């Protein structure tokens, strides 16, 4: 036997000796056999907290005191748990939270449902993976509230409801101030949907009721609505509109506007936003508004016009750079030479076109430069002091300042054949031969009840297309004698229809702009006494037969 191989007897003796000699007998400590966590399950909404309690038990079920509990849970995407067992819900889902004592654990399932917990100071709930956001302002709810959000089921069908966007927010208690609801739209809207016109609708009983358009964030694909309570909401498509149909055809349907009214008259703004994808300033980009003193510009109204157009996703046209009307008195009363007036014109065009570079898609560079009698260029301050080449220079400076803007020659009484139209073609030919950058011809189309025929409209549009130029109807209205019977409005509608049909049939005709929206604000009665009712919306902004005809023709063969 080696020295390392002790006999079993000796080992037993050694153990007995050491135990009794150096270690006192310990007080028996109860062994933890299980850990009981209460409550047994916990359901919260994001932002809401709950407290868990862990109780270690021995094998007999008695509580073991004096033990340290360690809490652990998921990585924190659903809920977090503190060292003292306080759970805070983070995002929808379920997670197991465990309490561990001496290697024994108890687990509880924490379920976080869609919704949020908001106190009286207000806050934001983001639910359904960002498809629903509810922003409650401070003071809008009287006490802290748990809001639930779930996909709305069994909602009444509506062909204007965008699939996958209906949600129910509980409770439906009213807020004392409007909250903002944002619903995300997916790739659902088709080409004809005017995205800035998407709106939120609320289910009231079995009826979907639209909320006013508050705004659409096209980058985040969110439709915003002001809501006064919980309830069932969904995204609504706008009704069929000139704008929706025009969009599907890559066509421009425009209106001349007054930005002040646009910003202050909700009814006007609603019609514009719904029906038009192109705007032109009826007055605020003219010399008298834009350039009131030789040394100073007044850009505020023009800027407002551009900002509104951008916010509404509309094309903005520029009107006007070279015109003999609505000029400031410093200009009309000044004494000019060819050289000094050319300098004034150059500086104005460069300043204005640069200011709106990239924001104006096309400019009426030269307006009404043709003499009414067809004799050629109209004698004006510009064309007499500078000469007819004032027109050439205006186009050249505009092109140099904004190479991307389309440059138009714009005039009236050239929609059909005649001496003035012949003079138009001669001027176009001269400009093109001289290498002047002209892109299109604008036909104002301030029409009477006896306009050119469809064939005549077609013929002139074809002449312009043959010059490799675009065309547009830029100031369309059809004045009706005040004394006419109601049926005159049907006749007027036919004329509107003829114009838009001619444009739609000519590939180079880019769009139709009406000179205003409503008869209430039309320039016609103040200039043509005894005439009015020239526009597609009446004095009370109601659509007229002209509107119905435009809608039918633009929408022919398309789905809304």
Structure tokens at 522: 């039309």
Cα gap 44→88, rounded to integer Å: 8
- Picking from 386, 407, 308, the residue whose alpha carbon sits closest to that of residue 344 is 386
CA angle, 221 then 197 then 514, to 5°: 140
Helices (H) and strands (E) in the chain, counts: 15, 29
Tell me whether residue 315 or residue 475 sits nearer to ligand 9MR (CB atom): 475
477 binds ligand 9MR (CB under 6 A): no
Q: What are the DSSP calls for 150-210, one per residue?
A: EE--SPPP-TTBPTT--EEEEEEEEEEEEEEEEEE--S---TT--GGG-EEEEEETTEEEE
Tell me whether residue 386 or residue 534 sits nearer to ligand 9MR (CB atom): 534
Structure tokens at 499: 């114009």
Neighbours of 485 (CB within 10 A): 8
CA angle, 286 then 289 then 295, to 5°: 105
How many residues bind ligand 9MR, per CB under 6 A? 8
Applying the rule CB under 6 A, the residues between 187 and 246 that interact with ligand 9MR are: none
Structure tokens at 118: 């908001």
523 binds ligand 9MR (CB under 6 A): yes
326 binds ligand 9MR (CB under 6 A): yes
Applying the rule CB under 6 A, the residues between 52 and 111 that interact with ligand 9MR are: none
Backbone angles phi, psi at 379, to 5 degrees: -75, 120
State the nearest-atom distance from the C-beta of 558 to ligand 9MR, in Å.
Answer: 31
Tell me whether residue 223 or residue 495 sits nearer to ligand 9MR (CB atom): 495
State the nearest-atom distance from the C-beta of 553 to ligand 9MR, in Å.
Answer: 24
**Collapsing DSSP states into helix, strand and coil, what is residue 410?**
strand
411 binds ligand 9MR (CB under 6 A): no
- Picking from 360, 352, 351, 297, the residue whose alpha carbon sits closest to that of residue 328 is 297
Applying the rule CB under 6 A, the residues between 249 and 308 that interact with ligand 9MR are: 282-283
* Binder of ligand 9MR out of 275, 470, 475, 519 (CB under 6 A): 475
For the question of residue 350 being annotated catalytic, the response is: no
Structure tokens at 560: 């809304």
> Considering just the CA atoms, what is the radius of gyration of the chain in Å?
38
State the nearest-atom distance from the C-beta of 354 to ligand 9MR, in Å.
Answer: 22
Cα gap 539→95, rounded to integer Å: 63
Cα gap 444→521, rounded to integer Å: 18
State the nearest-atom distance from the C-beta of 446 to ligand 9MR, in Å.
Answer: 6
State the nearest-atom distance from the C-beta of 236 to ligand 9MR, in Å.
Answer: 35
The one catalytic residue in 114, 275, 415, 475 is 475
Cα gap 77→271, rounded to integer Å: 46
325 binds ligand 9MR (CB under 6 A): yes
415 binds ligand 9MR (CB under 6 A): no
Tell me whether residue 114 or residue 519 sits nearer to ligand 9MR (CB atom): 519
State the nearest-atom distance from the C-beta of 255 to ligand 9MR, in Å.
Answer: 12
**Binding string, residues 355-384; x marks residues near ligand 9MR by CB under 6 A:** ------------x-----------------
State the nearest-atom distance from the C-beta of 211 to ligand 9MR, in Å.
Answer: 34
For the question of residue 368 being annotated catalytic, the response is: yes
Q: Which residue is nearest to ligand 9MR (CB)?
A: 523
CA distances from 255 to 216, 242, 433, 541 (A): 22, 12, 33, 14
Tell me whether residue 283 or residue 506 sits nearer to ligand 9MR (CB atom): 283
Q: Do 344 and 386 touch, CB atoms closer than 8 A?
A: no
**Collapsing DSSP states into helix, strand and coil, what is residue 50?**
strand
State the nearest-atom distance from the C-beta of 475 to ligand 9MR, in Å.
Answer: 5
Tell me whether residue 421 or residue 501 sits nearer to ligand 9MR (CB atom): 421
315 binds ligand 9MR (CB under 6 A): no
Q: Do 72 and 81 touch, CB atoms closer than 8 A?
A: yes
State the nearest-atom distance from the C-beta of 527 to ligand 9MR, in Å.
Answer: 6
Backbone angles phi, psi at 338, to 5 degrees: -50, -45
Q: Where are the beta strands (DSSP E) in 251-350?
A: 252-257, 278-281, 315-322
- DSSP letter assigned to residue 350: H
Tell me whether residue 283 or residue 501 sits nearer to ligand 9MR (CB atom): 283
Cα gap 74→387, rounded to integer Å: 82
Tell me whether residue 96 or residue 330 sits nearer to ligand 9MR (CB atom): 330
Tell me whether residue 149 or residue 353 sits nearer to ligand 9MR (CB atom): 353
State the nearest-atom distance from the C-beta of 406 to ligand 9MR, in Å.
Answer: 18
Helical ranges in 276-371 per DSSP H: 287-290, 300-311, 329-332, 338-355
The one catalytic residue in 114, 275, 368, 415 is 368
**Binding string, residues 420-449; x marks residues near ligand 9MR by CB under 6 A:** ------------------------x-----
CA angle, 516 then 465 then 439, to 5°: 65
Cα gap 551→238, rounded to integer Å: 14
Tell me whether residue 147 or residue 363 sits nearer to ligand 9MR (CB atom): 363
Backbone angles phi, psi at 316, to 5 degrees: -115, 125
Q: Locate tokens 């007499």: which residue?
A: 384
The binding site for ligand 9MR (CB under 6 A) comprises 282-283, 325-326, 367, 444, 475, 523
Q: Which residues are tagged catalytic?
A: 368, 475
């Amino acid at each position: 036997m080696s020295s390392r191989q002790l006999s079993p007897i000796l080992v037993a003796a050694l153990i007995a000796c050491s135990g009794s000699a150096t270690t006192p007998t310990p007080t028996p400590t109860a062994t933890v056999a299980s850990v009981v966590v209460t409550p047994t399950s916990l359901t919260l909404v994001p932002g809401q907290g709950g407290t868990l309690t862990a109780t270690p038990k021995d094998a007999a079920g008695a509580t073991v005191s004096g033990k340290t509990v360690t809490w652990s849970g998921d990585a924190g995407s659903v809920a977090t748990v503190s060292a003292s067992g306080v759970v805070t819900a983070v995002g929808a889902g379920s997670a197991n939270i465990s309490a561990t004592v001496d290697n024994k654990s108890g687990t509880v399932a924490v379920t976080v449902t869609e919704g949020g917990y908001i106190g009286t100071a207000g806050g934001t709930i983001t639910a359904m993976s960002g498809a629903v956001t509810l922003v409650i302002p401070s003071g809008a709810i009287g006490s802290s509230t748990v809001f639930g959000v779930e996909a709305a089921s069994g909602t009444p069908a509506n062909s204007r409801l965008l699939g996958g966007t209906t949600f129910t927010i509980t409770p439906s208690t009213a807020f004392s101030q409007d909250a903002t609801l944002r619903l995300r739209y997916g790739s659902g809207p088709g080409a004809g949907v005017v995205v800035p016109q998407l709106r939120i609708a609320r289910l009231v009983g079995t009826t979907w009721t639209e909320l006013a358009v508050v705004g659409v964030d096209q980058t985040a694909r969110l439709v915003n609505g002001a809501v006064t309570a919980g309830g069932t909401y969904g995204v609504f498509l706008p009704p069929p509109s000139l704008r929706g149909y025009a969009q599907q055809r890559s066509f421009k349907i425009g209106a001349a506007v007054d930005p002040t009214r646009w910003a202050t008259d909700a009814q006007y703004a609603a019609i514009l936003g719904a029906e038009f994808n192109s705007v032109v300033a009826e007055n605020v980009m003219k010399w008298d508004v834009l350039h009131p003193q030789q040394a100073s510009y007044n850009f505020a109204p023009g800027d407002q016009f551009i900002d509104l157009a951008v916010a509404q996703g509309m094309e903005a046209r520029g009107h006007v750079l070279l015109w003999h009307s609505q000029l400031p008195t410093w200009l009309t009363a000044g004494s000019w030479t060819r050289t000094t007036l050319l300098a004034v014109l150059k500086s104005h065009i460069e300043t204005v076109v640069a200011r709106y570079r990239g924001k104006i898609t096309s400019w009426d560079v030269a307006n009404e430069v043709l003499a009414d009698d067809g004799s050629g260029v109209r004698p004006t301050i510009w064309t007499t002091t500078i000469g007819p080449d004032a027109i050439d220079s205006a186009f050249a400076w505009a092109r140099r300042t904004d190479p991307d803007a389309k440059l138009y020659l714009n005039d009236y009484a050239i929609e059909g054949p005649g001496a003035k139209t012949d003079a138009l073609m001669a001027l176009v030919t001269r400009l093109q031969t001289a290498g002047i950058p002209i892109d299109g011809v604008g036909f104002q189309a301030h029409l009477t009840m006896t306009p050119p025929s469809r064939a005549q409209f077609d013929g002139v549009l074809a002449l312009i297309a043959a010059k490799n130029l675009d065309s547009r109807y830029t100031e369309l209205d059809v004045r009706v004698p005040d004394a006419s019977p109601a049926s005159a409005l049907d006749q007027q509608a036919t004329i509107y229809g003829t114009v838009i049909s001619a444009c739609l049939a000519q590939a180079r005709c880019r769009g139709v702009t009406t000179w205003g929206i409503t008869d209430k604000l039309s320039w016609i009665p103040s200039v043509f006494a005894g005439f009015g009712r020239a526009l597609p919306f009446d004095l009370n902004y109601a659509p007229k037969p002209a509107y119905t005809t435009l809608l039918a023709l633009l929408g022919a063969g398309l789905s809304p």
